[in-house]
Amino acid sequence: MDYDLIISGAGPAGLCLARALSGHGLRLAVVEQQPLAALEDPAFDGREIALTQHSAQLMRTLGLWERIEPHALSPLRDARVMNGPSPFAMVIDHALGKRSELGWLVSNHLIRRAAFECVQQSRQEHADITLMASESVSGVRTDAEAAHVTLASGALLKARMLVAADSRFSTTRRAMGIAADLHDFGRSMLVCCMTHDEPHHHAAWEWFGYGQTLALLPMNDDPATGEHRSSVVLTLPSQDIDPLVTLEPATFNQEMARRFDQRLGRMTLASTRHAYPLVAVYPRRLVGQRFACVGDAAVGMHPVTAHGFNFGLLSIDNLAGTVRAAHARGADIAAPDGLARYEQTQRRATLPLYLATQLVTQLYTRDNPPARALRTLALHVGERFTPFKRLIAASLTGGG
């Protein structure tokens, strides 16, 4: 079973890469351990994805954007950063980015569904994608000629190139002998959708409280009731999150309103609750012999900067462009020089923000008096320094 390229993982990154390469004369295989039904109709997982303007344009190019219900695309107009109990906020206004909005918010499961539908369309139009659901990669090796993949079922695949798109904890990347720097924050985040009395004005909140971190991601009003609605993210030490996941809904509503200091008024749970550990991952290398990483397998970001999937789309755009260009001129799609250029481009785009994010999260999760004072000072200085805020706005829009 020979292919030009095998993609390990059919999450949004793997599916988008297959879509980006389809129709260019390449034979593609996508291997995914989830069953086909889970890919066709992914369940709500609590996560709202913040998309830059550049990412939104890439999704339009791939055909995902128009497959998402317009009401599910919520504009992110402004961002507010707060510290402790103070009502003061550093405000990143959409006007700084010279746009009517900084970006967009879309539920992760809707992106997954749209990506799958696009791949199915490509399969029908070009017959160049083989989707292997309910399968997993159990072994890999590469040589000068090909990548060799063994599946858990015992099937053997061979391709000119192998791509890992199987999460920040990628087993494919590990099987290739590529180490990664992993930072476990010792915290977990609870995510869910809630309705509330007070409007959010389509502004995102990042609230570094004392002993907790809160985020509010503005969604469009509930289409059935007209109530204000947001994705709510609470970050606490991991042992404190688990009891909240199973707390009786009425008590949970009261607890969340209390944690938000009643700033949103009454809050009501409007979805299932989900908990995720906070772990950031950065691989030592992004490429190997006939091998490359994309998506979270290339960088697993802390969500505070909301750039995880944006970097994933950037990696797909970069790698797909490299592969298509090589194939068009009859060159090796996995040539070392092409993969090296991909790695350099992706590292330049992601490593500075990854490191900066680590510093920000360390500062804003410390609760000793000097750290609290420094946090407050940093926000007040940032609010008054327009070039700094303009830089953040450019990051949130993706420079597009």
Nearest to 191 by CA among 83, 77, 78, 271: 271
Q: What is the mean pLDDT of residues 188-214?
A: 95
Sequence letter at residue 240: D
pLDDT tens-place string over residues 237-296: 999 999 999 999 999 999 999 999 999 999 999 999 999 999 999 999 999 999 999 999
- Range 63-70 contact pairs with CB under 8 angstroms and sequence separation of 24 or more: 63/19, 63/118, 63/121, 64/16, 64/111, 64/114, 64/115, 64/118, 65/114, 67/113, 67/114, 67/117, 67/118, 68/106, 68/110, 68/111, 68/114, 69/110
Distance CA 299, CA 295 (A): 7
Q: What is the mean pLDDT of residues 188-212?
A: 95
Distance CA 350, CA 354 (A): 6
pLDDT tens-place string over residues 227-243: 999 999 999 999 999 99
69: helix, coil or strand?
A: coil
Q: pLDDT confidence of 371, banded at 50, 70, 90?
A: confident
| Under 8 Å between Cβ of 148 and 157 | yes
